[in-house]
Structure 1
């Protein structure tokens, strides 16, 4: 068995050769769902991951869930009971967050392209709006004046440093996200002349990082910058959102993030931040780290064929449901996610096979020449690490196949 799948058995145990999800055998779960493909998320794993992260963080640090990682309503409902806030990036995500019943003040709306309609909805709901440009601030002011509402705002800052070794760099250099740090003082002065309820700053550098030292460095730089910019604020900072950046391992050779040095650094900084910014609440937002490892994608083998000596397992799922696993969501060189035959996890004959989907494109590959249990028609292929950026990050309508089911167990 390949090492990534073997390691994941500590999350998804095996009984009688079958993967267990939420204490249910995969084959039985597939029968309950009624059809494949489907995504399954384990609520116990979600709760355990939140508890694990909270134990590592200073107790006064707020923890937010970034809904874009996985906006499944039932999952968001579950996460809302475990975290201190929800971060959204669209009107659809805003509705999902409001439906949880969480206090509007604990919802923040970010994103570089908010429409007037979205800004108006955020205003009416009373959530925190993260301003990403000078023009967005002026648009929001005009809308707020017309509605007679003082908007609650946070200024998103694009610092002059980045999160090194990050899978997705969101800051440093020219970026569509946030306001360049050198322009923030003037913007804060302009804000003082507007009827805006200023809450604080968001400084979000990047995501999917497995290098603890890089995260430590970025967080330290974030605190220094926030303290410097606070001098220009129209009122004392009440919130400092330092983003996240915590990654999870997907590929062979990657090692799970060690939180110890990150924890130590945050515990050293919190008293300093409290002294420099009295009354400020510091929030860390996370999406992938909280939900990514708690989900699997399951597809059924519908054909087994051999082409010039190579085994192909054709499934009823593919890149239209799970673009990231196909390698088409940012990978430069395609690598395999951890994959297994979920109903043949032990004691089976093994072989090298390529797992493909039903689409008419050579890009529709879930696993390329990977060692698996010998699979037959009807067996269940499992893609691990599928709790984040799965269904909603994929081209579901491509070739007009049916969308997969999502279940929380």
Structure 2
């Protein structure tokens, strides 16, 4: 997606808002057609023996799950709440249950709701899963999540190769395998090796898979394991700051094919869990400018909205890409404030200086009553934000799908 080109469908929806309502524009807008097509392209290009699960933490809305369920092989959930959302739309869609802080009640309900796999994050968790599965008269299928000792310096987020709260230290793999094999209500099905997030280098990601494959092959041979899965997680990146940079999925698929040709693990399926990569480009955040001011020589645009709706820019400390949607509607009997060819810092309506979505971005023209349309807002937007801080009204969530030429 080119964030410098306004999406006509979205602009029409924003203008319709101003025609029909008096309150300032504040909404997330989601393009289900783009989501569906993006997922279909990714799933359809995977080599044989690979499966794609949607990491629903990126955006767990019912509309997204309904849209993706016929396309992806399953869902990755990080809480019992997410598992319940999946089961509301499908009783039998495969679900992988991950996350570092699973509670006993969550594990029990997950097993009762027939999750396919559970990522075991520690020795203690392995013992608890077996005990709970035994109480339910079942056997839990688990993958050991391993924090590798390799270094992965080139991604935005790194979750392995250094101390983190995720997974079992690679040095403890022999003990973890031995424990999993000894527990009566566990079946060790494979390994989960999700080490980096938001990586933009497709060749690096393929090399990462080769590292995973080599490690798992070594453990399989050393401990005479029968394995069914290697879960390589997600981590395919989205660039929020450089529109000319992107994760080259076709290149990744080409390089992945070479890795799988060179490394054979008969009977082992390779699983992927993208979230952001599927969802980010399918969403927008639209917020109306309610004030313009110059303070200590800096220009500010104050929005109806902010980080309590869209926390991602603040959490990642970047200026989020946006476009100005000019609206001609003006109800006041006095002149409309505007700025021309200035650098603007975009702030929200919260009583904190940290409520900033973009800093020092040059705009040709901006007026009170225009709308800022933030791109790449389909993932890690609304659900990671502090919705009720200051008790401001929530934004609307508008889903559209023009597969038949209509907006809904």
TM-score, with normalisation over the residues of structure 2? 0.87
Matched residues, number: 387
Match of 1:266 among 256, 267, 270: 256
5 Å matches for 1:246-285?
Answer: 246-252=236-242, 255-273=245-263, 275=264, 277-285=265-273
Q: 1:152 is matched with which residue: 120, 124, 141?
A: 141
SS in 2 for 1:98: helix
Report the alpha carbon displacement of residue 111 of structure 1 after superposing the two structures with TM: 0.7
8 Å CA contact 1:342, 1:381 repeated in 2: yes
Q: CA deviation at 1:220?
A: 1.0
Counterpart-to-counterpart distance in 2, 1:8 and 1:380: 15
Q: Partner residue of 1:399?
A: 390
What is the RMSD computed on CA atoms of the aligned residues? Answer: 2.5
User: Which residue number in structure 1 is paired with residue 345 of structure 2?
Assistant: 354
Please say if 1:217 is aligned against 2:200. no
Contact 2:43 2:51 in 1 (8 A): no
Alpha-carbon distance between aligned partners in 1 of 2:288 and 2:111, rounded to the nearest angstrom = 45
Q: Which residue of 1 aligns with 2:3?
A: 8
**How far 1:37 moved relative to its partner?**
1.7
Give, in angstroms, the shift of residue 176 of structure 1.
Answer: 1.4
Q: CA deviation at 1:349?
A: 6.1
TM-score after normalising by structure 1: 0.87
Task: Give 5+ residue unaligned stretches, structure 2.
Answer: 329-338, 401-408
Q: 4+ residue stretches of structure 1 with deviation over 4 A?
A: 29-35, 232-235
Equivalence for 2:316 = 330
Q: Secondary structure at the match of 1:95?
A: helix
Q: 2:185 aligned with 1:195, yes or no?
A: yes
Paired with 1:100 and 1:30, the residues of 2 have a C-alpha distance of: 34
Partner of 2:46: 57
What is residue 66 of structure 2 aligned with on the other side? 77
Quickly say closer, same or farther: Cα 1:238–1:191, change in 2 above 3 A.
same
Q: Which residue does 1:42 correspond to in 2? A: 31
Distance in 2 between residues matched to 1:134 and 1:397, nearest whole Å: 37
CA distance in 2, matches of 1:323, 1:149: 41
Q: Of the candidates 221, 228, 238, which is equivalent to residue 231 of structure 1?
A: 221
**Counterpart-to-counterpart distance in 2, 1:29 and 1:59:** 46
Q: CA deviation at 1:25?
A: 4.1
In structure 2, the residue matched to 1:17 is none
Task: Say which of 365, 369, 377 aligns to 1:374.
Answer: 365
Distance verdict in 2 for CA 1:136–1:30, change over 3 Å: farther
Q: 1:111 to 1:232 in 2, by over 3 A?
A: farther
> How far did residue 373 of structure 1 move?
4.6
| Pair 94,305 (structure 1): closer, same or farther in 2 beyond 3 Å | same
Q: What is residue 403 of structure 2 aligned with on the other side?
A: none
Residues 290-311 of structure 1, C-alpha deviation per residue, up to 9 Å, x if partnerless? Answer: 1111111111122223335543
**Structure 1: distance between partners of 2:389 and 2:58:** 21
The answer on whether the counterparts of 1:164 and 1:214 sit within 8 Å (CA) in structure 2 is no
- The 2-side partners of 1:180 and 1:155 are apart by 11
Pick aligned residue for 1:109 from 97, 116, 119? 97
SS at the partner of 1:341? strand
Q: Tell me the alpha carbon deviations over residues 204-235 of structure 1, each in whole angstroms, 9 at most, x when there is no partner.
A: 11110112232122111011011112236685
Name the structure 1 match of 2:335. none
- After superposition, the C-alpha distances for 1:223-264 in whole angstroms (9 at most, x for unaligned) are 101111223668521121111221011103761122344222
Q: Please tell me whether residue 121 in structure 1 is matched to residue 99 in structure 2.
A: no
SS of corresponding position for 1:249: coil
SS in 2 for 1:99: helix
Give the alignment partner of residue 232 of structure 2, picking from 242, 247, 265.
242
Cα 1:160–1:28, aligned 2, differ >3 Å: closer, same or farther? same
1:191–1:317 CA distance, 2 compared to 1 (3 A): same
- 194-203 vs 283-292, which deviates more? 194-203
Alignment of 1:207 onto 2:191 = no
- Contact persistence 1:161–1:218 (CA under 8 A): no
| Alignment-derived partner of residue 404 in structure 2 | none
- Separation (CA, whole Å) in 2 of partners of 1:184 and 1:31: 62
Quickly say closer, same or farther: Cα 1:372–1:198, change in 2 above 3 A: same
| Cα pair 1:126 1:152 within 8 Å, conserved | no
1:341 and 2:345 equivalent?
no
Q: Measure how far apart 1:272 and its partner are.
A: 4.6
